[in-house]
Structure 1
């Protein structure tokens, strides 16, 4: 739907007359324009501002974008990148976005769904063949034109991205791949993940990982299997491979397309090529072994937004904001909310963004955007997450959102017990490292001499867990924090210093820690 121009909107840009608004997102506004011959065009004005390096990259990517096959994308006609507000002019696609179509008319069925799947896989194949990563593939960036689906808004350099793209993920939360959430750059493999999530939405009308809040969705992407209930059987296995946690297990876009039309490649070779972000040539044979999937919560505490913004249904491929600023309330930290917030601590285009240490490290010295291998996790193995019982509109018996409760580890057979010097009730204030990453909280620990377990409480969030002793030295005790209810498991280290205890908590991945001093009560 075309909206009228706002009072402060331009009425022309270069040779193009602007007549209405097609949509608005986190990066800028898309206008309906007309060229000198009266033909309609889409004009995207980037209002976030771009530094010189990003402008140079934008110009380079625009050259590459012109080589992408136009029958499955919106062809780039021209662009001006040297203005204070750069703009890009592309072919106008007269049709709703997939987001609009499903929201207004329900899921796609039969041949309509199959055409969407094949058409968008074809578009990704063409985009990747041009050496471009989409970075923000989602239903809002798929337009349903009269001649079939078109993929738009691909490959646009964003403010904050350098050539190494270390600043964090670009994309809408429900369609981010696990490695992006963990801080690795967008790649061809992450585009394929987003394709799988988009097809789930098209086929079912719901997101593959729910939609109750940004933090909960990101946590589910990192730790649980997608809900593919309702995806037709012929597509279900293909979608499942695309939504693999490990980017090396996903097919390339080309191999995805071949599979959809009935000629599937070797899955291991396909997966490695996708993880590399490569679109041509043979994969490195040494790297064809499947990797460990991402599956551990990565955060301890945070305030989180109450709801994921739906974003504009623009029909013109406008990038929506990543999410709202974290705000409000200490309503108790459900594991699903908390764990994903640290996953969200990467630099994104909103004030709520933070930088999180990468879960994956680059294995290609040349810096290939998708060449990743898992980094070793620090600390103890994280407990399996529990189901979020409050997800609206989802049937927990069908969604696969829940897993078996965590089993409490024992003391490893060491026979270690709590020394008398550590016995008692200890209270103190803990702060996160890096500073400001999440909130600060009070904790309370109760230990009894001669026992191998204790209790851990965080009163402000109504959390209580069990401390299971794993190592004991003269002045240092190390515990696994388990059965933590709405709080996140991890490793707690207590060291006696004088009459106090120094406290350190780490999540299972070593991405976040909390420190503080505890004083003995009474």
Structure 2
């Protein structure tokens, strides 16, 4: 189910170039003629942290060079941390970093030049995107955002002008104001374009991955309609609408309208994660899901999670799924279901229990950190086994799972067998509800990824088995029916 998978390291993308100099503005008298071994040819943009130049390498290849405004020790250290995190993002998602210099009075970063207009320029010049063009954009940018979040980065300024439409697909760029989660970041305060700020950012809360999902959805509305979902007049009016008004999604096709509406929820806890969003775009049966409890972003990307076997397998799983979605969504034609309504629900949210009907209360539950205070009720006692299947498209063969539950215990033996190998371990009870038990699966003999297992009563002789990689990316579930022996 959740084991090692080989992931392609080099996807072979190469940029093509046309008249790239026409995209740049002339250099100003104060601009340097060159930086490092790169000759500057013009200005591509300027922001609060520096200037982005079009430049050429010694062999004539176009590149983008960002010259940072500040060169103090703190800025250099934070830049190094961000670049470390960026290295773990797949190259098809953003502009590849080619060179970095922190030796001069002002550090600069050299990156791949993406030969294509921004989403803003594309819509302004040719109008809203339609059909396959829109679908490829939606899947490509959602995949990029999922990869960015998996690297532990919050972008903080996702907007149409930061999406470049390269010849091989969209790239999400401008990480100059992106920051890794934690107290030390390159910038602080309210950052972003008003129409694409999430409500919690306007209210002064730190940006999170959920804020990025909100901004992504607002950008996709712009791509599909040519306008922001919250208008484009005065800043106070736009901010007021973001906080209090419902977005105008009337011009969107049905399935896409549903997806974007969930992403534009005022409550960040009701928005899907980027990873779950990515999967839902290519699988209409994937239900909406909020962020996993405790968040899914690493606090310090300099502390790599690949130092343990479990972390390595988890990162491989994320990379493999991202690669699959890109292959489905961009290489061979987008397999989107944006105009269809899902008719079957296979799994529930990776972070929540099933929704409670309006006006009713959820069943009582007791939670613990797995310290042995909880006990398995007698109604669940017995040996349960059955076949389970995974939503991971790289692991579709399924597995045989067995759980032995003993009344009064707080742990239980657990096994999983598939055609390749076996996993054995002990699951620890963490939550008890009337008809459901939740367990934590930690390190185990056999190499299955740790996660959360829920067992829900289904009549007297069956349990619904659900495994999720939570805490973790929350990308994959393993589900099936276990029968009592």
TM-score by length of 1: 0.51
* Matches of 1:237 and 1:285, distance apart in 2: 20
* Matches of 1:152 and 1:108, distance apart in 2: 20
Question: What's the counterpart of residue 192 of structure 1?
Answer: 213
Q: Which moved more, 1:62-71 or 1:20-29?
A: 20-29
Distance 1:11 1:172, change over 3 A: same
Question: What's the counterpart of residue 62 of structure 2?
Answer: 40
- Residue correspondence of structure 1 range 119-198 to structure 2 within 5 A: 119-154=140-175, 156=177, 162-163=183-184, 167-198=188-219
Q: Output the aligned Cα RMSD.
A: 2.9
Distance 1:6 1:230, change over 3 A: same
1:366-402 Cα offsets, whole Å, 9 max, x none, are xxxxxxxxxxxxxxxxxxxxxxxxxxxxxxxxxxxxx
CA contact (8 A) 1:187 1:275 kept: no
Q: 1:233 aligns with which of 254, 273, 278?
A: 254
Q: Which moved more, 1:236-245 or 1:81-90?
A: 81-90
Distance 1:277 1:216, change over 3 A: farther
CA contact (8 A) 1:256 1:264 kept: no
Distance 1:111 1:284, change over 3 A: closer
Question: What's the counterpart of residue 109 of structure 1?
Answer: 130
Give the deviation of 1:173 after TM superposition.
Answer: 1.2
Question: What's the counterpart of residue 66 of structure 1?
Answer: 87
Q: 1:206 aligns with which of 227, 237, 255?
A: 227
CA contact (8 A) 1:248 1:274 kept: no
Distance 1:68 1:42, change over 3 A: same
Question: What's the counterpart of residue 2 of structure 1?
Answer: 24
Give the deviation of 1:27 after TM superposition.
Answer: 2.7
Distance 1:283 1:167, change over 3 A: farther
Question: What's the counterpart of residue 292 of structure 2?
Answer: 273
CA contact (8 A) 2:202 2:239 kept: yes
Q: 1:80 aligns with which of 93, 101, 126?
A: 101
Give the deviation of 1:129 after TM superposition.
Answer: 1.0
Question: Aligned pair count?
Answer: 286
* Matches of 1:274 and 1:122, distance apart in 2: 22
CA contact (8 A) 1:65 1:130 kept: yes
TM-score by length of 2: 0.55
* Matches of 2:285 and 2:145, distance apart in 1: 17
Gaps of 5+ in 2: 1-22, 299-313, 316-348, 358-485
Give the deviation of 1:283 after TM superposition.
Answer: 6.2
CA contact (8 A) 1:17 1:35 kept: yes
CA contact (8 A) 1:143 1:150 kept: yes
Give the deviation of 1:58 after TM superposition.
Answer: 1.8
* Matches of 2:134 and 2:55, distance apart in 1: 31
Give the deviation of 1:209 after TM superposition.
Answer: 0.5
Distance 1:2 1:71, change over 3 A: same
- Residue correspondence of structure 1 range 381-460 to structure 2 within 5 A: none
CA contact (8 A) 1:135 1:155 kept: no
SS of the aligned residue for 2:279 comes to helix
* Matches of 1:180 and 1:69, distance apart in 2: 28
Runs (4 or more) in structure 1 with deviation over 6 Å come to 279-283, 286-290
Distance 1:172 1:289, change over 3 A: farther
The alignment status of 1:258 with 2:285, answered yes or no, reads no
